[in-house]
């Protein structure tokens, strides 16, 4: 199901997942016992109060993500959208490599906005009549925003605090991968703690009522999100390390390029045919200069020796795919970006001035990125 998109002023598009409704209902169910009297089957005022606080929490999440979005824009990033989801929300933005200071500021903007909301709620509580529904509403909203800020400030990925610590460690140690590993494993430890705490409450209470059971289920879902987020961060960091080691010149294969019309006898011995690539040059689209074919040993073996002088290379070759041009001086992320912009199986690595240094196979790059 496609998520509906909202527009609020200068904020980026806000995608509201159906899971947001589940979040509201679960939070309302968890809060309801705090407002209903003993033995009440259904208290409408208590239900409305719990639902109102749950809805305010979604507004708090939106303010949190809006703060991330506005701060990211302030540092020159392009914000694609804000998403409200089952797990709360996230802000999708992209930009050039951020400094540690910018990353920390963007990460902390969300929790700071929740602390500001908590202060507003405490102010509203102070002017509400003591013991009134309004005072209870603002009191819970303040406490939940403080809890939201503190939870997001935990120093493990994928939490905001973890991202801030990751940026600081990477900058201080000059080793971004180490910073990511430390904060990702901290995030995994936090995931275990999120489940352990309600379990300890249940053991201490010598049983689980509806409130504790709902809390445990919700904690398990949050723990799963934390574990997955931390694992994704570890995977992304490992992948980035492999990307950083890429060098076009190291990937070059010194294959011999021949035309489709060259005869089989001119290609050398059968052992030498493994280093031959047949290039059919013709303009296909921008950046693509032709198609490549590889010599098939079984096809070569089927050609009698007497016929090899008049058998063209194209007759014993199978298709590899389109051939693109690639600057042989590219490295790391620039190399990957260039390949993603022109995805073909084979590239001619071009040196200066217009010299072909060899070929680069997409499969070779993919194998390196997968750690093979």
Cβ(187)–Cβ(159) under 8 Å? yes
For residues 111 and 152, what is the distance between their CA atoms, to the nearest angstrom?
Answer: 6
Cβ(241)–Cβ(179) under 8 Å? no
Tokens of 249: 């010149």
Taking the CA atoms of the chain, what radius of gyration do you get in angstroms?
30
Tokens of 292: 């490549």
Tell me whether residue 97 is one of the annotated catalytic residues. no
Cβ(79)–Cβ(91) under 8 Å? yes
Give the single-character DSSP code of 255: P
Write the CB contacts of 180 (distance below 8 Å, at least 6 apart in sequence): 157, 166, 170, 233, 234, 236, 237
How do beta strands 14-16 and 78-85 pair?
parallel
Crossing angle of the two packed helices 210-244 and 19-35, in degrees rounded to 10: 140
For residues 371 and 295, what is the distance between their CA atoms, to the nearest angstrom?
Answer: 28
Concatenated DSSP letters for 271-320? TGGGGEEEEEEEEEETTEEEEEEEE-HHHHHTS-GGGTTS-BGGGGEEEE
Q: What share of the chain is helix, strand, coil (3-state, %, to 5)?
A: 60, 20, 25
Write the CB contacts of 306 (distance below 8 Å, at least 6 apart in sequence): none
Which residue among 65, 125, 166, 322 is the active-site one? 65
Cβ(35)–Cβ(46) under 8 Å? yes
Of 352, 166, 161, which is closest to residue 248 (Cα–Cα)? 352
Please give the biggest Cα pair distance in the chain. 105
Would you please indicate which residues are annotated as catalytic (active-site) residues? Answer: 65
């Amino acid at each position: 199901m496609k998520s509906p998109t909202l527009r609020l002023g200068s904020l980026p598009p806000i995608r509201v997942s159906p899971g947001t409704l589940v979040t509201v209902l679960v939070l309302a169910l968890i809060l309801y016992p705090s407002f209903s009297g003993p033995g009440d089957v259904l208290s409408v005022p208590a239900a409305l109060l719990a639902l109102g606080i749950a809805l305010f929490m979604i507004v708090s999440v939106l303010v949190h993500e809006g703060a991330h979005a506005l701060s990211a824009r302030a540092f020159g990033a392009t914000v694609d959208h804000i998403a409200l989801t089952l797990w709360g929300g996230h802000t999708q933005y992209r930009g050039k490599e951020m400094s540690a200071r910018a990353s920390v500021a963007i990460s902390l903007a969300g929790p700071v906005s929740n602390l500001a909301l908590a202060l507003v709620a405490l102010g509203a509580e102070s002017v509400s009549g003591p013991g009134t529904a309004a005072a209870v509403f603002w009191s819970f909203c303040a406490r939940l925003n403080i809890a939201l800020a503190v939870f997001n400030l935990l120093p493990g990925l994928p939490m905001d605090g973890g991202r801030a610590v990751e940026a600081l460690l990477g900058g201080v140690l000059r080793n971004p991968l180490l910073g990511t590993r430390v904060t990702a494993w901290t995030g995994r430890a936090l995931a275990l703690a999120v489940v352990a705490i309600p379990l300890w409450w249940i053991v201490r209470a010598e049983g689980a009522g509806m409130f504790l059971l709902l809390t445990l289920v919700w904690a398990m879902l949050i723990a799963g999100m934390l574990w997955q987020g931390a694992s994704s961060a570890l995977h992304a960091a490992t992948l980035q390390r492999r990307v950083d080691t890429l060098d076009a010149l190291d990937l070059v294969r010194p294959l011999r390029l021949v035309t489709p019309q060259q005869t089989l006898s001119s290609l050398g011995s059968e052992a030498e045919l493994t280093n031959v690539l047949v290039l059919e040059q013709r303009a296909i689209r921008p950046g693509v200069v032709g198609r490549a074919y590889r010599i098939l040993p079984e096809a070569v073996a089927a050609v009698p020796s007497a016929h090899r002088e008049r058998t063209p290379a194209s007759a014993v070759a199978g298709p590899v795919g389109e051939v693109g041009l690639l600057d042989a001086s590219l490295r790391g992320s620039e190399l990957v970006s260039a390949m993603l912009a022109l995805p073909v199986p084979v590239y001619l690595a071009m040196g200066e001035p217009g010299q072909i240094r060899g070929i680069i196979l997409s499969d070779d790059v993919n194998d390196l990125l997968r750690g093979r």
